Chain A
Amino acid sequence: MRAGLYYGWEGTAGSDTQALLAQVLDQVELGDHLGFDSCLFAESQFQETRASVSVPELIGALAGTTHGMRLGSANRQIALQHPARVVENYSVLDQLTNGRVICGIAVSEHEAGCVTYSVPFDERLPRFEEALDFMRKAWSYDAFAFNGTFTKFPRSASGLGKTFEAEPYTKSYLLPWQRVGKKTSYLGITPRSVQLPYPPIWIDVTQPATLTTAATRGCAILPPASMPHDVVVQRYQGFSAELHAVGRSLEEIERPLLRDVFVARSRQEAIELAGDAYQAQYRSHAALGELADADGRHLAADECTLEYLLQNHLIMGDPDEVFDQLKVLQQNTGINHVLCRMAPSGINHLDVLASMRLFAGEVITRLRS
């Protein structure tokens, strides 16, 4: 099983962002050195308790200082901007990282971001699906026209009788530099990505409807960190069924998961160092309506006791305990890639580094064997 890092921004509003980002970049660079496979960053758009850090710039900063680690977003809200910008962004990042980008995308779950960017909240799922289809077309064709419900590319595509048309390579075909002054009927997005046909697309599955979206488009799923273990099991079971319906199987696809993981020399020490920070983080999740149990019931902040969190969300302890818990999770869900949120807001930077070193030295090595 692969192991990576994950950074959300819970509880970071009002904090010293310069210090925070400096620590995050240092941690990720250490993670690359220690052999972590990946690092994803969450996108948050104008939520009260979270800083709205722009993820592409973090990935860009790390592109030149990391070497093997895959880098990406966990939940880029692609419905909130023109999908051509999303494609350009990931393509540039893929070039900058020599083909190490992961496109984690999500349907916007919070109204704040939709309101900010003037996207009707009830249109977010169809917009998300159309943006995803646009992205896959843009990466797969040299030049094309896209006449969607929400996106016209280029403008003249609105006259197209169908949703998509690749540029026809007929005898009248003009080379790109010969087209100036002619009607713009097809455009291509450059540069292309390094990874072929495009960087891997992982879809956040907070909403069960996205299981079908992922399965029918050959994308992996990414259950969020705040999803309880047993709901993750349900999601992967549901995804397996959706894949089966389209003639695929889970074994063909990377199977990642975001989890809260913290390692120390003993379980007691892990709880002492990180328990309060994780608890505060989950109270923040609950306050934003992001915490639900297996029955779909939203939890209140005061239900986030440490006992509840240790049973349903947190993986904490000494290296052996953490390894055992991850193996159980792997057996129950089928995951082969865990991304660890090891730095909840409020935890000491040096304690995070120590946990990373212990995890790399005594857990990752066993996960890979």
Chain B
Amino acid sequence: MQSPRVHPRAWSGLYNEVIEHAEFAESVGFDSFWLTEHHFWYDGYCPDLYPVLAAIARRTSKIGVGTGASLLGLHDPLREAQQIATLDVISNGRVILGLAPGYRPEEFEGFDIEKKTRGKRFYEGAEVMKKAFTGAAFSHHGEFFHYDDVRLEPAPLQRPHPPMWVGANRSHQQARNIGRAGLGFWEGPSMSIDTFAENVTVFKQAGRDAGHAEHDLKVGLMRDICIAETAEEALTIMDEDLLPMYEEQYVAYGYVPEASGNRREMLAHPVFQEIIAASMVGTPDQIIRQIESYRDAVPFHHFMPRIMHMSQKKDRLFRQMELFAREVVPYFK
């Protein structure tokens, strides 16, 4: 629900449309629909996912409703658990939790949290949530959170709890941490296939060493997708929708200094080269081949295509969603 410089929109329109997008995604057969969170961002990036997912859940009936990701490093885990549990009940057990510690300094500044504590806060928070989701009374006295004899009611419908995935970065340490905690590993959109393969190996080994069953060590992959009937049209979508999104956000975030106006210069930057290499652009057959190349390198359980880009052109978005659902998904099911 962003209103960026390149495609300014009224926020209320965006919030209304996202429900339509989810309804359409369900109608064409997607298994899940995900939203992502950031705070204090100039373009109105959604800071509160659960009420929006509740709106989607009430208007749909089977599609999973996911957080991709909820920034647990910034939140009180018991309050977060309360929101998740209510959402899981309202949605009849369709919540999928993608979680991440957060990385933007201004978000930690805004909530008066020391950024360097985010890793420990995150994993302690995940532990609190798992205790809360049992629905039994529990106490917790950790480094950051303290609760005495509290009982979450309602508890989520899904038992023992909604699936929990952690958004990974490039680091092996993060992959090890996720494996040790027995949570799902979820690779972000711009990591290379080699980084993905390395991190999954580290994740699984850490999970096995910590005694977690192989079937609990799940792997998810997210990629940016630009799909069309012809390769030329897919490249046009990348040029008009995907790259402007990254240009603005990465310049705004400071990964890339603002270029003097020469777009070719910006696109030559190593960060953008990595994004372009990791994105899947092309016809359905080309997309299938690209997904297969990842699957052959690293078997994964869940693929998350990011088709929605900031331009929010509904007709183009719906065409892509339908094409992906009709031509790509059946190949892998």
Point out residues on A near B: beta carbons under 8 Å: 13-14, 17-18, 21, 25, 46, 51-54, 56-65, 81-82, 84-85, 88-89, 92-93, 95-96, 98-99, 115-118, 151-156, 175-178, 180-181, 184, 187-192, 194
B124–chain A nearest beta-carbon distance, Å: 14
Residue of B nearest to A16 (CB): B154
B51 touches A57 (CB 8 A): yes
Q: How far is the CA of A268 from the CA of B48 in the complex (A)?
A: 47
Contact with A along B127-145 (1 / 0, CB 8 A): 0000000000000000000
Q: How far is the CA of A60 from the CA of B56 in the complex (A)?
A: 8
Surface stretch bound by A, among B78-86, B223-231, B324-332: B78-86
A88 touches B48 (CB 8 A): yes
Contact with A along B250-261 (1 / 0, CB 8 A): 011110001000
A residues less than 8 Å from B79 (CB atoms): 81, 117
- Report which of A59, A64, A116 forms a contact with B150, defined as CB distance below 8 A: A116
B146 touches A118 (CB 8 A): yes
A60 touches B5 (CB 8 A): no
B residues less than 8 Å from A184 (CB atoms): 105-106, 109-110
- Report which of A13, A98, A115, A152 forms a contact with B153, defined as CB distance below 8 A: A13
A92 touches B52 (CB 8 A): yes
B residues less than 8 Å from A52 (CB atoms): 82, 152-154
- Report which of B45, B90, B253 forms a contact with A61, defined as CB distance below 8 A: B90
Residue of B nearest to A17 (CB): B154
Q: How far is the CA of A46 from the CA of B15 in the complex (A)?
A: 31
Give 27 pairs: A residue, B residue, CB < 8 Å, sorted on A: A21-B89, A46-B151, A51-B154, A54-B82, A57-B90, A60-B51, A60-B52, A61-B55, A61-B58, A63-B55, A65-B59, A89-B51, A92-B46, A95-B14, A96-B15, A98-B16, A117-B78, A117-B79, A118-B146, A154-B112, A156-B109, A187-B40, A187-B109, A189-B47, A191-B1, A191-B11, A191-B44
Q: When A and B form their complex, what is the total count of cross-chain residue pairs whose Cβ atoms lie within 8 Å?
A: 168
B152–chain A nearest beta-carbon distance, Å: 7
B251 touches A95 (CB 8 A): no
A82 touches B59 (CB 8 A): no
A84 touches B111 (CB 8 A): yes
A180 touches B253 (CB 8 A): yes
Given A25-B58, A154-B106, A180-B253, A98-B154 contact (CB < 8 Å): no
Given contacts A61-B58, A188-B42, A192-B44, 4 further A-B contacts (CB under 8 A): A56-B48, A59-B51, A63-B51, A117-B79
Is there a chain A Cβ closer than 8 Å to B281's Cβ? Answer: no
A56 touches B55 (CB 8 A): no
A192 touches B112 (CB 8 A): no
- Report which of A14, A61, A65, A189 forms a contact with B40, defined as CB distance below 8 A: A189
B15 touches A190 (CB 8 A): no
Given A98-B16, A155-B112, A190-B41, A61-B153 contact (CB < 8 Å): no
Q: How far is the CA of A116 from the CA of B157 in the complex (A)?
A: 23
Is there a chain A Cβ closer than 8 Å to B248's Cβ? Answer: yes
A residues less than 8 Å from B47 (CB atoms): 88, 92, 189-190
Q: How far is the CA of A64 from the CA of B153 in the complex (A)?
A: 25
A96 touches B85 (CB 8 A): no
B residues less than 8 Å from A81 (CB atoms): 76, 79
Q: How far is the CA of A307 from the CA of B90 in the complex (A)?
A: 38
B residues less than 8 Å from A115 (CB atoms): 148
Point out residues on B near A: beta carbons under 8 Å: 1, 5, 11-12, 14-16, 19, 39-48, 50-59, 75-76, 78-79, 82-83, 85-87, 89-90, 92, 105-106, 108-112, 146-148, 150-154, 157, 248, 251-254, 258
A146–chain B nearest beta-carbon distance, Å: 10
A60 touches B248 (CB 8 A): no
A residues less than 8 Å from B254 (CB atoms): 180-181
- Report which of A93, A152, A175 forms a contact with B51, defined as CB distance below 8 A: A93
B residues less than 8 Å from A95 (CB atoms): 1, 11-12, 14-15
- Report which of B51, B83, B112, B252 forms a contact with A153, defined as CB distance below 8 A: B112
Q: How far is the CA of A335 from the CA of B83 in the complex (A)?
A: 33
B residues less than 8 Å from A65 (CB atoms): 58-59
Q: How far is the CA of A96 from the CA of B49 in the complex (A)?
A: 11
B residues less than 8 Å from A53 (CB atoms): 86, 154
A64 touches B58 (CB 8 A): yes
B residues less than 8 Å from A117 (CB atoms): 76, 78-79
B residues less than 8 Å from A14 (CB atoms): 153
Residue of B nearest to A44 (CB): B153
B35–chain A nearest beta-carbon distance, Å: 11
B residues less than 8 Å from A177 (CB atoms): 5, 42, 248, 251-252
Q: How far is the CA of A18 from the CA of B156 in the complex (A)?
A: 10
B residues less than 8 Å from A51 (CB atoms): 153-154
Residue of A nearest to B108 (CB): A155
A residues less than 8 Å from B253 (CB atoms): 180
A60 touches B46 (CB 8 A): no
Q: How far is the CA of A58 from the CA of B58 in the complex (A)?
A: 10
- Report which of A21, A155, A176, A181 forms a contact with B90, defined as CB distance below 8 A: A21
Q: How far is the CA of A56 from the CA of B52 in the complex (A)?
A: 9
Residue of B nearest to A55 (CB): B86
B31–chain A nearest beta-carbon distance, Å: 21
A residues less than 8 Å from B59 (CB atoms): 64-65
Complex A-B, nearest 4 residue pairs according to Cβ-Cβ distance, in ascending order: A60-B51, A180-B254, A176-B42, A177-B252
Q: How far is the CA of A54 from the CA of B54 in the complex (A)?
A: 11
A356–chain B nearest beta-carbon distance, Å: 19
- Report which of B83, B106, B147 forms a contact with A56, defined as CB distance below 8 A: B83
Residue of B nearest to A51 (CB): B153
- Report which of A57, A82, A151 forms a contact with B54, defined as CB distance below 8 A: A57
Residue picked from A89, A93, A96, A155, most chain B C-beta under 10 Å: A96
Residue picked from B54, B57, B75, most chain A C-beta under 10 Å: B54
Residue of B nearest to A181 (CB): B254
Residue of B nearest to A194 (CB): B12
A239–chain B nearest beta-carbon distance, Å: 31
B252 touches A46 (CB 8 A): no
B154 touches A152 (CB 8 A): no
B51 touches A96 (CB 8 A): yes
Residue picked from B59, B152, B154, most chain A C-beta under 10 Å: B154
B residues less than 8 Å from A63 (CB atoms): 51, 55
